[in-house]
Amino acid sequence: MKTKISGVELRRIAMPLVAPFRTSFGVETSRDVLLVRVVTSDGEGWAECGAMSEPRYCSEYVDGAQDVLRKFLIPALPKDGLDVQAVGRILHPFTGHNMAKSALETAVLDAQLRGVDESFGSYLGAARDRVPCGVSVGIMDSIPELLDAVEAYIGEGYVRIKLKIEPGWDIEPVRVVRERFGDELLLQVDANAAYTLTDAQHLTKLDDFDLLLIEQPLANDDMVQHAQLAKRLRTPICLDESIESAADAAAAISLGACSIINIKPGRVGGYLEARRIHDTARAHGIPVWCGGMLETGIGRAANVALAALPGFTLPGDTSGSHRYFATDITQPFVLSDGHLDVPTGPGLGVTPLPDLLDEVTTSREWIAL
Ligand code: OSB
Ligand code: MG
C-alpha cells in the first residue's frame, strides 16, 4: 500500500507535569513535546516524539530531533508515495536519532491505518483489549512523601509500582515501601544507569525485597558488565537504555545481560522495530513490558496498543493521563480496575482536541515534501 505525503507539520507543545518527576539523571517539571503530523493522500497521521528537553536519558533532545527531521529525515521521503514498511529502510542510512525516526514512521503508519480503517492494536497483533498498568514513581525529598505518593497510586488501582533509585536513595526507600505495602505488591526499581559494577555488592542488598526486576543499573553501553552483574544478583536485570534495536536485544539475551526487556518504541526507532524486539524476546522466553517517556495521549495510544501484544507479560509504565498532566491533548486515558483499554478506532484511535492543542502549542513548522 502506498501513501503519498504532501508535507509534515512539526508542532511543539508545552505540557506542565502535575508534579516534578525526578530520576537519577535529572528533574522534569514540564514536558516540551514535539508532535509530528503528516498530511497524505490517505488523510492525516499523528505521532509524538519521545525526546526530552536535554540529552540526559539518551543522546537525543527535542530541538535536535526537530532539526534532524527538518534537515534530513523528512526530505529523504519519496514524493511519489511509500508504504510504512519502507520508512525504516529509507531512514536507516542516517545513524542514531531513533526517537525522531520513530515519530516520522509512526505518523505515516497512523495515516495509513486510518486510510484502511484499521487500529494500531489490530495491525501490531494485540492479543487483549486492555492492559494492566504500572506507575513510575520519581525520587522524592523524603520517605514520608514517597509513602504518600505510592499509597495514592495504589489507591488509584495501579497494579505495579516502579521506584526510581540512585546511590543514596535505593535500599531504604525499597525497604519501607515493601514493609508498608506488603509482599503482594508488584515492585521494581529503575536506576537509569546510575551505578557501576563496583556497586555490585551494594546492589545485592536489593535481593531481600523480592523485586520483579532492577532496570538499567549500569551505563548504556555496559552490556558485558550487566552480564557480570546478573551473575551476582538474584534480582532479575531488565535493560532499558542499552537496547536500541532488535540486534541489541538479541545480543543482550545471548550474553546474559538481561532476563527482561523494557521496550520503548521511540528508543528503538519505532513500533515495527519494537515488535521485532518483542518477537525476538518471546522466542527466547524473555518477558517484555512497555516503557514510557511521559507521553501525551498521542504517544500513549500507540504504547497501549503495543502493550497488548502477547509477549508483554509484565505491567508497563502505561499510566493514566492524569498521572502526568492535569489536561491531556486527547481524550484522557483513565484507569479502570488498574487497566487501560486498547483504543479500537482507526490508527491511533485518538486525535488531539484542536482547542486544547492550540492552547499548549508553542511553535509550528510546515515542511513540504
Ligand atoms: O527510564 O523508564 C525510564 C521517563 C522518562 C525517561 C525515562 C524513563 C521514564 C520513566 C517514566 O520511568 C515512564 C512513564 O511513565 O512514561
Ligand atoms: Mg527506565
**pLDDT for the residue 1:** 74
Q: Which atom of ligand 1 is nearest to the CA of 295?
A: 16
- 175, 292: one domain: yes
Cell 522495530 locates to 273
Q: What's the pLDDT score for residue 42?
A: 82
CATH code: domain of residue 79: 3.30.390.10
- Containing H/E element for 143? helix 143-156
Q: Please tell me whether residues 104 and 134 are part of one structural domain.
A: no
Pair (258, 307) in one structural domain: yes
**Is the domain of 144 the same as that of 168?**
yes
The answer to the question of residue 256 being in a domain is yes
* Domain limits for position 98: 5-117+351-368
Catalytic residue among 162, 164, 205, 231: 164
Based on the fold, state whether residues 142 and 288 are members of the same structural domain: yes
**Catalytic (active site) residue 162:** no
Is position 158 within any domain? yes
Question: What total of structural domains would you count in the chain?
Answer: 2
What CATH code is carried by the domain that includes residue 158?
Answer: 3.20.20.120
Catalytic residue status for 101: no
| 271 and 211 part of one domain | yes
> From residue 72, how far is each of 9, 39, 100, 104, 152 by CA, in Å?
15, 18, 11, 12, 45
- pLDDT tens per residue across span 34-56: 999 999 988 999 999 999 999 99
pLDDT at 200: 98
Parallel, antiparallel, or unpaired: how do β-strands 26-40 and 43-49 relate? antiparallel
| Same domain? 91 vs 31 | yes
Rounded distance between C-alpha atoms, residue 213 and residue 202, angstroms:
16
* Residue 29 domain-assigned (yes or no): yes
In a domain, 318, yes or no: yes
Q: What is the pTM of this model?
A: 0.97
Q: How far apart are CA 13 and CA 3, in angstroms?
A: 27
CA of 81 to the centre of ligand 1 (A): 35
Whether 146 maps to a domain, the answer reads yes
Q: Choose the catalytic residue: 2, 4, 205, 264.
A: 264
Asked whether residue 170 is assigned to any structural domain, the reply reads yes
pLDDT at 297: 98
Residues 109 and 194 in one domain: no
C-alpha 52 to ligand 1 mean position (Å): 11
> Which three cell numbers, joined as nine digits, stand for 43?
488523510
30 and 110 fall within a common domain: yes
Domain match, 103 and 147 both = no
* Ligand 1 proximal residues by C-beta, below 6 Å: 57, 136, 190, 192, 240, 291-294, 317, 319
Residues 142 and 103 in one domain: no
Domain membership of residue 346 (yes or no) is no
In whole angstroms, what is the distance from residue 273 CA to residue 144 CA?
A: 41
Q: 286 lies in a domain? A: yes
Do 194 and 126 belong together in one domain? yes
pLDDT in tens, the chain (369 residues): 788 999 999 999 999 999 999 999 999 999 999 999 999 988 999 999 999 999 999 999 999 999 999 999 999 999 888 999 999 999 999 999 999 999 999 999 999 999 999 999 999 999 999 999 999 999 999 999 999 999 999 999 999 999 999 999 999 999 999 999 999 999 999 999 999 999 999 999 999 999 999 999 999 999 999 999 999 999 999 999 999 999 999 999 999 999 999 999 999 999 999 999 999 999 999 999 999 999 999 999 999 999 999 999 999 999 999 999 999 999 999 999 999 999 999 999 999 999 999 999 999 999 999
Sign of CA dihedral 294, 43, 352, 34: positive
Ligand nearest to the CA of 164: 1
